[in-house]
Amino acid sequence: MLELRQVGAAYGSSRVLFGVDLAIAEGEVVTLLGRNGMGKTTTVNAIMGLVSLTQGDISFRGTRISGLPAYKVARNGLALVPEGRQVFPNLTVEENLVATAANRGRAPSPWTLEAVYGLFPALATLARRSAGLLSGGEQQMLSIGRALMTNPRLLILDEATEGLAPRIRREIWDALVRIRERGQSVLVIDKNIDMLCRFADRHHILEKGRIVWSGSSQELMADEALRMRFLSA
């Protein structure tokens, strides 16, 4: 479904990605792992059209999306839950959800306001509250809900559980599992390897702007040396 071929990217003159190859199949749940500053967020930004490529190309369901402006990338069916949540603080919770919701007339859209509230009951009670006043965990749920409301074919989560209390974290993982059960394709970035191994089908490790390892959960769990080498802080 999504395919990155030899993707390179840079901020000004400092190069960050040096030829990333990555493929995600329909219905798959895939992770992107790596230590801080290895280029995970940059990869995601490159996919979303927020960072322009210095080499390579990206295609989604057969159409080339590299070089398109962000909004056109999104309209192809990609949605991002960005690092740092980035909800619209001056809109209410409900407005955050409906403002950018998809009504592209695709077959009965699975993610409606009710469905999102069902996933995160906390949001339902806060519907009329300004998003800027929510707690970090609530903002994170909102950010996920907002992305789902665009009815994406591929949901991309960048550090969706970072900096949250364990209880909230569990709540969000539970929600992600339920999202997955509905057949949603997901690309997820996170630091919690144990959780990811239960959640995802395949894993990719990014090191200094290149994919250095790809494999299944079993392989990742089995290879202690690999985890020590690329993933321990």
Ligand X SMILES: Nc1ncnc2c1ncn2[C@@H]1O[C@H](COP(=O)(O)OP(=O)(O)OP(=O)(O)O)[C@@H](O)[C@H]1O
Interaction site with Mg ion (CB under 5 A): 40-41, 83
* Closest CB to other proteins among residues 64, 229: 64
* Closest CB to ligand X among residues 39, 137: 39
Q: Is 132 among the residues that bind ligand X (CB under 6 A)?
A: no
Query: Please, which of residues 72-91 interact with ligand X by CB under 6 A?
Result: 83
Q: Is 16 among the residues that bind ligand X (CB under 6 A)?
A: yes
Q: How far apart are CA 153 and CA 51, in angstroms?
A: 21
The gap between the terminal CA atoms of the chain, to the nearest Å, is 32
Give the number of residues written for the chain: 233
User: According to the 3-state scheme, what is the secondary structure of 111-178?
Assistant: CCHHHHHHHCHHHHHCCCCEHHHCCHHHHHHHHHHHHHHCCCCEEEEECCCCCCCHHHHHHHHHHHHH
Question: What residues contact residue 139 under an 8 Å CB cut-off, 6+ apart?
Answer: 85, 87, 131
CB of 101: closest distance to Mg ion in angstroms?
26
Residue 9 · residue 199 · CB < 8 Å: no
Contact residues: other proteins, CB under 8 A: 48, 50, 69-71, 74-75, 79-80, 82, 86, 88-91, 95-96, 98-100, 102, 130, 132, 146-147, 150
Q: Is 38 among the residues that bind ligand X (CB under 6 A)?
A: yes
* Closest CB to ligand X among residues 40, 180: 40
Among 22, 31, 41, 204, binds ligand X (CB under 6 A): 41
CB of 79: closest distance to other proteins in angstroms?
7
Amino acid residing at 132: G
- Rg of the Cα trace of the chain? 17
Interface residues toward ligand X, by CB under 6 A: 11, 14, 16, 34, 36-42, 83
